[in-house]
Amino acid sequence: MKLLEDKILNDGKIGEGDVLKVDSFLNHRMDVAFLSKLGEEFYRLYKDCNVNKILTIEASGIGIACLTAQFFNVPMVFAKKTKTVNIFSDVYTSKVESFTHKKTYDIIVSKEFLLPGDRVLIIDDFLAQGSALNGLISLVNDAGAELVGCGIVIEKAFQPGGDLIRGRGIRVESLARIESMSCANGIKFCD
Amino acid sequence: MKLLEDKILNDGKIGEGDVLKVDSFLNHRMDVAFLSKLGEEFYRLYKDCNVNKILTIEASGIGIACLTAQFFNVPMVFAKKTKTVNIFSDVYTSKVESFTHKKTYDIIVSKEFLLPGDRVLIIDDFLAQGSALNGLISLVNDAGAELVGCGIVIEKAFQPGGDLIRGRGIRVESLARIESMSCANGIKFCD
């Protein structure tokens, strides 16, 4: 999506360790009007799929998922992160490894909010190793719901998550796919 | 707001320990179309205040803050919770005590996203003891920004946070104010 690629080039910063910082519009300060255009693009991509629920993960997925849900006119559910290892009988749980924060945490979603027969579109801001996305997919499967596909704002295509998930036959649409990035050479998008 | 009070009565549940559960529409599953109406009401209340930024705190404030920001056509910034005690020079920090989770954590916001001269409306889903709200107000003050007021979805008016903050001359608008609630006697709203 050209609009997003331009925004990343204009407003994104590459920080230490070649980390992409887009917190001026995506995950700290949210440019809501701009993010709504991304939500509209997800709608264009998935509008014929009878989506009846959007699923994301706290925290930075919530904004874009909300704005996307508006176009589909469906509710949004966000999985919660928890460090408690209690066994809850009324939630689906999955494990997610955070490479950024170097820890593993559980994510949970109440069983009453993810139902067999739901047609779920997963929305998230980033896809790199795919750990969060795999965790969300696992929740959808555990619920016996149908996964329509995934909508990602920025995919780090030089990391394996996206291709591994596509390799399982799951539709993954990323609005910007970064082929490479570094302080030295800047950001290059996939064709 | 009658619409919200009815929603709370219809869809809210009072759980163990007389905890109000509204996770079917507000803070786990989000009824985005409904929450957008709450955002519109915040706009009606604050539309003449030249708000140029919405501030909230992760995670469950993000949705309602995003939807509110759409009506004001301004960006939204969410404070992040962190347990790291590092001193960051590029962020404003404040301490928040969570009574629900019985712990204290730091919240941070990047200095570049909260500026002197900003006219800030703080939005959050709940107000009870007022700890999160006080933390957010403190960030606004530290930035030298102007606090226009606070917009709260549900205030537990039987707890002291709201009145203490109003007592400091700060405008706090809560769309539903609960006077009392218990499993035995249900929910009663303030007049």
Say what the pLDDT of residue A46 is: 98
Say what the pLDDT of residue B18 is: 76
Taking CA atoms, what residue in B is nearest to A68?
B32
- Say if the Cβ atoms of B28 and A58 lie within 8 Å: no
Who among B23, B31, B75 is closest to A30 (CB)?
Answer: B75
Q: Determine the Cα–Cα distance for residues B109 and B90; give it in Å rounded to an integer.
A: 9
Mutate to test the interface with A, among B26, B29, B58, B91 (most CBs of A within 10 A): B29
Taking CA atoms, what residue in B is nearest to A65?
B63
- Say if the Cβ atoms of A62 and B66 lie within 8 Å: yes
Mutate to test the interface with B, among A29, A54, A92 (most CBs of B within 10 A): A29
Who among B24, B28, B75 is closest to A29 (CB)?
Answer: B75
Chain A residues contacting B via beta carbons under 8 Å: 23-25, 28-33, 35-36, 58-60, 62-63, 66-67, 69-70, 73-78, 80, 109-110, 112-113
Q: Which residue has the tokens 């920025």?
A: A154
Strands B53-57 and B186-189: unpaired
Residues in chain A where the model's pLDDT stays below 70: 83-88
Contacting residues of B for A67, CB less than 8 Å apart: 66, 70
Q: Which residues contact B101 (CB under 8 A, 6 or more apart)?
A: none
Say what the pLDDT of residue A99 is: 76
pLDDT in tens, B27-73: 999 999 999 999 999 999 999 999 999 999 999 999 999 999 999 99
What is the ipTM score, two decimals? Answer: 0.95
- Say if the Cβ atoms of B63 and A62 lie within 8 Å: yes
Chain A with chain B: Cβ pairs closer than 8 A? 98
Taking CA atoms, what residue in B is nearest to A110?
B28
Q: Determine the Cα–Cα distance for residues A117 and A187; give it in Å rounded to an integer.
A: 41
Q: Determine the Cα–Cα distance for residues A112 and B154; give it in Å rounded to an integer.
A: 23
- Say if the Cβ atoms of A29 and B76 lie within 8 Å: yes
- Say if the Cβ atoms of B30 and A80 lie within 8 Å: no
Q: Determine the Cα–Cα distance for residues B122 and A114; give it in Å rounded to an integer.
A: 31
CB A168 within 8 A of CB A140: no
Count of C-beta atoms within a 10 Å radius of residue A175: 21
Contacting residues of A for B109, CB less than 8 Å apart: 28
Say what the pLDDT of residue B84 is: 60
- Say if the Cβ atoms of A66 and B70 lie within 8 Å: no
Contacting residues of A for B76, CB less than 8 Å apart: 29-30, 32, 63
Who among B28, B62, B109 is closest to A77 (CB)?
Answer: B28
CB A164 within 8 A of CB A156: no
Q: Determine the Cα–Cα distance for residues A161 and B172; give it in Å rounded to an integer.
A: 45
The whole-model pTM stands at: 0.96
pLDDT in tens, B86-122: 555 799 999 999 877 788 989 999 999 999 999 999 9
